Amino acid sequence: MLDVKNVCKSYSKPGSLLGKKRQEVLKDISFAVKTGECVGLIGESGSGKSTLGRLILGLERPDSGEIRIEGAPVSEWKKSHGGEMSVVFQDYTTSANPRFTVEEIIAEPLLGGRKSRSVTIDVRELLTKVELSTTLLGRYLHELSGGQLQRVCLARAISTRPRFMVLDESLSSLDVSVQAQILTLLRNLKGELHMTYLFIAHDLQTITNLCNQVIFLYQGEIAERLPSSRLAFAQNDYARRLLNSVILFDG
């Protein structure tokens, strides 16, 4: 599904003359994700996770290396598969328009020349999929809880029936119990819609149940990459530190 090969990305440092001083944000990143797989991308704040997410979504281009989806460069793939890739960002409070109702937010990506009637039906179906009551259709964002709002964003993200979804710290700001509910939902959707996920997070807590593979990103480099079932065998210091903190937390 996704093939990331030798990707490098740098940004000019703020205040540097003519942008000459550059900060390397991603250094020689390579990995692949198979169809139907869920890959967890874990790293501390500033390690380059969101940058990698934006490159994969085709919102920015790498300095070198290449990213292919189903064999085609991202930009090409997007032209013929618009809507089949979607994203849920970290800050869901700013990722939806506060003047829109729940119905309008979810319907937005669907309104590609279709009659509003069929869209209404789709929106109801989508709400049911994310386990929200259809009585919320007319509500505005400030009338929803964090968990409800995140489900609305999820419903919008799956409205176009994407096959590939990037979730960038989408659950980080939610209570652990709500996170668990949404993770269960994501797992069910994965089975139902045969989706491939790239799940970005800064801790391991959330993702081990959902992901088949975990990539540890440390200062722009892949520090370790393991199947979830083999996390206990991590060699890298940073990965081990994270794993130990999880065991401490649980025990």
Q: Tell me the DSSP string of 23-80.
A: EEEEEEEEEEE-TT-EEEEE--TTSSHHHHHHHHTTSS--SEEEEEETTEEHHHHHHH
Query: What's the number of CA atoms in the CB half-sphere (13 Å) around residue 151?
Result: 25
Tell which one of 40, 43, 62, 162 touches ligand ADP (CB under 6 A). 43
Give the nearer residue to Mg ion in terms of CB position, either 49 or 156: 49
Cα–Cα distance for residue pair 195/179, rounded to 1 Å: 19
Closest distance of CB 236 from Mg ion, Å: 21
Q: Is 162 in the site for ligand ADP (CB under 6 A)?
A: no
Q: Is 171 in the site for ligand ADP (CB under 6 A)?
A: no
Q: Is 46 in the site for ligand ADP (CB under 6 A)?
A: yes
Residues in CB range of 118: below 8 A, 6 or more apart: none
Tell which one of 11, 72, 82, 184 touches ligand ADP (CB under 6 A). 11
Closest distance of CB 28 from ligand ADP, Å: 16
* Burial of residue 92 (number of CB atoms within 10 Å: 0-12, 13-18, 19+): buried
Residues in CB range of 226: below 8 A, 6 or more apart: 213, 214, 233, 234, 239
Report whether 204 contacts 224 (CB < 8 A). no
Question: Applying CB under 5 A, which part among 49-57, 73-81, 206-214, 226-234 lies near Mg ion?
Answer: 49-57
Give the nearer residue to Mg ion in terms of CB position, either 50 or 148: 50
Q: Is 45 in the site for ligand ADP (CB under 6 A)?
A: yes
Tell which one of 4, 39, 43, 50 touches Mg ion (CB under 5 A). 50
Scan for tokens 């085709």, then name that residue. Answer: 58
Q: Is 170 in the site for ligand ADP (CB under 6 A)?
A: no
Q: What one-character DSSP code corresponds to residue 202? A: S
Q: Is 47 in the site for ligand ADP (CB under 6 A)?
A: yes
Structure tokens at 68: 């292919």
Binding at 43: pick from Mg ion, ligand ADP, none (beta carbon under 5-8 Å per type): ligand ADP
Closest distance of CB 66 from Mg ion, Å: 22
Give the nearer residue to ligand ADP in terms of CB position, either 60 or 125: 60
Report whether 213 contacts 226 (CB < 8 A). yes
Judged by the rule CB under 6 A, the positions of this chain that interact with ligand ADP are: 11, 25, 43, 45-51
Judged by the rule CB under 5 A, the positions of this chain that interact with Mg ion are: 49-50
